[in-house]
């Protein structure tokens, strides 16, 4: 099995970055082997990357439904488990239970979104990651994982498309 190498190219312009990504695709680099790091949030359309469907909306919906179920169980379950009849009133009062139901549904929604975001970001990350501090200074980094035999082709494409620097990054703690 050929040895893998990681190369990083630093760009200053979004157009040059998207052209470099297209060039890497032309020489056979898979989309999974390329990653883009930038300090400014560019859309996938700007970089000519395929749209990735996220799980965050589903986690949000699941968190809201979990909060709703917990809220209904707390408000109505306690009233049904410990019934106290007061002056002919109904056992479960809907208007007074709407507030905790709403609040716990929103709490589940927020917690579901937040926990999914933490999971997606890989937090907490204790191992060193590939990174370049120049990304904070309006640079765009294209990182490519490829076989050693394609190293020269990848370097050539990145440099031809306008990379300031192409190098093998080192892992550093964030």
Q: What pLDDT, in 10s, does the model give residues 31-51? A: 889 988 888 887 777 777 777
Radius of gyration of the chain (CA): 26
Give the end of a domain, one of 99, 120, 141: 120
Q: Are residues 106 and 136 in the same domain?
A: no
| Position 63 confidence tier, pLDDT thresholds 50, 70, 90 | very high
Asked whether residue 160 falls in the same domain as residue 137, the answer is yes
Q: CB-based contacts of 98: which residues, under 8 Å, 6+ apart?
A: none
Q: What is the mean pLDDT of residues 79-91?
A: 84
- 60 and 46: one domain? no
Q: Which of 78, 101, 120 is the last residue of a domain?
A: 120
Residues 87, 47 within the same domain = no
CA distance 23 to 157: 6
Cα 151–Cα 152–Cα 156 angle in degrees, nearest 5 = 120
Structural domains of the chain, count = 2
Whole-model pTM: value is 0.68
How does DSSP classify residue 134? G
Asked if residue 1 has pLDDT above 70, the reply is no
Which pLDDT score is estimated for 24? 92
Final residue of a structural domain among 120, 137, 156 = 120
Tokens 């390329």, located at residue: 34
Q: Where in the sequence is the domain holding 60, given as residue range(s)?
A: 56-120
pLDDT digits (tens, 9 = 90+) for 122-174: 787 777 788 888 888 888 999 999 888 888 999 999 999 999 989 888 887 76
- Pair 114, 149 in one domain: no
């Amino acid at each position: 099995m050929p040895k893998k190498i990681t190369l990083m190219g630093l760009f200053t312009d979004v157009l040059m970055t998207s052209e470099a990504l297209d060039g890497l695709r032309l020489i056979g680099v898979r989309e999974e082997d390329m990653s883009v790091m930038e300090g400014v949030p560019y859309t996938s359309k700007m970089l000519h990357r395929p749209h990735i469907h996220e799980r965050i909306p589903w986690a949000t919906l699941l968190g809201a439904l979990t909060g709703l179920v917990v809220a209904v169980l707390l408000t109505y379950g306690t009233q049904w488990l410990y019934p106290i009849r007061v002056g002919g009133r109904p056992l479960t009062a809907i208007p007074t239970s709407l507030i905790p139901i709403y609040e716990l549904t929103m709490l589940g929604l927020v917690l579901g979104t937040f926990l999914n975001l933490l999971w997606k970001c890989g937090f907490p990350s204790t191992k060193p990651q590939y990174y370049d501090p120049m990304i904070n200074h309006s640079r765009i980094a294209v990182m490519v994982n490829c076989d050693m035999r394609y190293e020269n082709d990848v370097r050539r494409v990145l440099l031809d498309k306008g990379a300031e620097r192409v190098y093998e990054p080192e892992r550093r703690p964030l």
